Each structure stands twice: as C-alpha cells, then as structure tokens.
Amino acid sequence: MARRRPLNPLNGITLEMMLDQLVAHMGWEAMAQEVPIRCFEHEPSVSSSLKFLRKTPWARTKVEWLYRNRLKEMKLPPGDETDAG
C-alpha cells in the first residue's frame, strides 16, 4: 500500500519563490512589519534576504509562517479579495 504524505503547502516551493510572491503581494514595508528583520527594513532585496534567511533558521521559519498565512489570499484572482461575510 502506498504511503500517504501529509499535505504541505511548501512542498516544491523554494525560499526565493516565497520571497518573490510575498514581495509582489505585500511589498517590503508590509513584510518588515510582519517579520521585523533588517534585510526587509533597510535597502531590501531578494538576494540579501536569501543570504540572511538561509543562515538564520528562526527568521526563515517566520517567513515560511507568513507565506503559509498569506497563501490563500495570494491565490485569489485580482478583485476577489472581498470578505465572505
């Protein structure tokens, strides 16, 4: 019998892909408010953020958490951000 793997929204998503999508969806300023790290606050760039996040597990965990929490709204087509209630 085949072994089932738990659903993981991060499966196949690289850290660079996460950053690119978060920047496009939120922007650096909003990301810095959610995850206050220097590479998001001062002269932010994907390359400097990747270097920092790859060396800093606690920060990477926070960015992954942010990505997971924003994933649903990032997948909505433009104009569909209305509340259900």
pLDDT digits (tens, 9 = 90+) for 13-63: 899 999 999 999 999 999 999 999 999 999 999 999 999 999 999 999 999
**pLDDT tier, 73 (very low <50, low <70, confident <90, very high otherwise):** confident
**pLDDT tier, 71 (very low <50, low <70, confident <90, very high otherwise):** confident
Query: Which CATH fold topology does 15-72 show?
Result: 1.10.720
- Are 35 and 62 within 8 A, CB to CB? yes
**Domain boundaries in the chain?**
15-72
pTM for the whole structure = 0.76
Per-residue model confidence (pLDDT) at position 10: 77
Per-residue model confidence (pLDDT) at position 85: 41
